A and B are shown apart, each in its own frame.
Chain A
Amino acid sequence: MRTSCFLVLTAGLILVGTPGFAHHGTGVSYDASKPVTLKGTVTEFRYANPHPQLYFDVTDEKGNVVHWSGEFYPNPAQLIQGGWGRKRSEAALPFGTKVTITLAPSRAGTPVGAILKLLNEKGEVLMGVAGGGPGEAPRGGAESGGPAVRP
């Protein structure tokens, strides 16, 4: 499942100081001030604690495929509040789905990130992750911004 993908940009956004913001302490591992947007193809999705995980392939300009993994900031309990139960989530992210992902990359430089925003080919927000960042309450599907709940 090759995909026409690209590594796009790193925008110098500033996330205001958020000590220990992630649900499971994982915020330390990622640099939310340097978000990256990728286009990729889903290889696996896991809806589980402590954070659902998305595995996807990204192909660079030279045709090399990089296997990425991403974790969602919301956990299943929080996703449920936004209407993103397991069946709906898995139906939205089957193997081979083409997605556009904005993530906070690993500070270690590995192909891992915390997912800030997830869109399908139609531009629909998946998993209610619309870019609110850590602590964002997942939305029912409509894209919108808004303040995050700070942990």
Chain B
Amino acid sequence: MCGGLALSAAFLAQGGQRGIPAADPQNANKPYDRHDLSGIWTRNGTPGGYGGGGTCRDCGDRGFGNDVPPFTPLGQKMFDANKPSYGRNLGSPDAAAHPEEHIGRRRAVPPSNGTDPYQYCNPMGPSRALIYPDPLEFIVLPDRIYQHFEWGYGLRTIWIDGRKPLMDPDLPRWWGYSAARWDGDTFVVTTTGVDERTWVDHFGYPHSVDMVLEERYRRTAYDVLELNMTITDPKVYTAPWKSQTKKFRRIEKGTIKTVDGWAGLLEDICAPADEVDQFNKRVRDPAGGVIR
């Protein structure tokens, strides 16, 4: 039995973004401590603030920033070697129609042909993880703050015990080495020693092991946290690279829960057993015309 199904264009129609607002008017007058960063924060625009989808309104996009400084020769080489799967498709009319965007946002290739380390569940590194839309929880202890990321279920340590940033560490790490201090109401994190196999963001911008990443957090309302970042990496970029301002919205623990009602961050792990052995082999690669 065969027949036709009409496909309505309506269901693909674009509408306004449905995500959560950056700040809930009901929270506007709630008291808060500018030095208290604890709790769950999200940039995710999906109702509830978690679970795939994109960023919330005015939270900034998923790139580090649009004002990319010129690369050094080495930086250009590293940039060219990275083949991301985000952004406008390489060589497409869509990409050609947006010459105002940096080429990093106009060179996406199918994941089967890309080089994104995260496609194999390798760690994202700090800047990319922070830009990812899904929630993270700040767990504040007397001498450190843990950032617990839902996507990847990763744990990053930021030391607040007075230590200085570790310059030229012996061994690079996926999360690097992070030390922080308060500058007035701004929480300033300095990170060094990040493994250069990580990308700055999902558009494949590179960095060297000598990168110094500065994060400046400001809590500007009960439920709004702003983040500005700067990358200083003379091996790769000819000038410091300032990020777009990213915003997070605070959500309560009970907002995130399983269908059983189990509240708290979801265990959103990128497991090679699922990602590499199943999804990549059986869907991702064939979709790109690649049979391994």
Contacts and interface: CB of A to CB of B under 8 A. Distances in A.
A complexed with B: yes
Interface of A: 4-6, 8-9, 11, 13-17, 19-20, 23-26, 28-30, 32, 35, 37, 46, 48-51, 53, 55, 61, 69-71, 73-81, 83-85, 88, 100, 102, 106-114, 116-117, 130-133, 135, 137, 145-151
Given A50-B275, A107-B289, A150-B17, 13 more contacts: A9-B5, A19-B86, A19-B87, A35-B7, A75-B51, A81-B47, A83-B259, A85-B258, A112-B283, A112-B287, A113-B287, A146-B15, A149-B17
A131 B11 contact: yes
Contacts of B47: 81, 137
B264 interface: no
A110 B289 contact: yes
B287 A137 contact: no
Contacts, number: 215
Given A8-B5, A28-B109, A77 B87 contact: no
Given A20-B85, A49-B275, A112-B286, A151 B54 contact: yes
B288 A106 contact: yes
Nearest to A4: B1
A81 B51 contact: yes
Nearest to B105: A19
Interface of B: 1-19, 45-48, 50-55, 62, 84-89, 94, 105, 108-112, 114, 116, 119, 133-134, 150, 202, 258-260, 266, 268-271, 274-275, 278-279, 282-284, 286-289
A137 B276 CA distance: 25
Given A24-B111, A25-B116, A49 B269 contact: yes
B165 to A, nearest CB: 32
A24 B47 CA distance: 19
